[in-house]
Amino acid sequence: MSCPNCGEPMVKAIYLGLPGEFCESCNTLTGLAAYAPPVASQTEDGPLFKFMVYEGSYWRALWHWLTGR
Ligand SMILES: [Zn+2]
């Protein structure tokens, strides 16, 4: 998948527990994670609001996201 803005390849990311695609070149976020409530960006330190880039299975990544391991 490539970025709709700059065409660079995107990486998979989890935000608010939702899967999305993230562009490291221009910080574009797409997918379900892009629909996360705007308030989340102002409370990034909360454990549920962390942003995590991952590879492989979403479910495995979600487990790591939830447990912090
Ligand atoms: Zn981009």
* Structural domain harbouring 33: 11-67
Block means of pLDDT (10 residues each) for the chain, 69 residues, are: 94 90 93 74 56 92 86
Distance CA 49, CA 1 (A): 24
**2 alpha carbon – ligand 1 mean position (Å):** 8
Structure tokens at 16: 């608010």
Is residue 1 domain-resident? no
26 alpha carbon – ligand 1 mean position (Å): 4
Distance in Å, CA 22 to ligand 1 centroid: 8
Say how many domains are in the chain: 1
For the question of whether the overall pTM of this predicted structure is more than 0.85, the answer is no
pLDDT given for residue 33 in this prediction: 87
According to the model, what pLDDT value does residue 44 have?
53
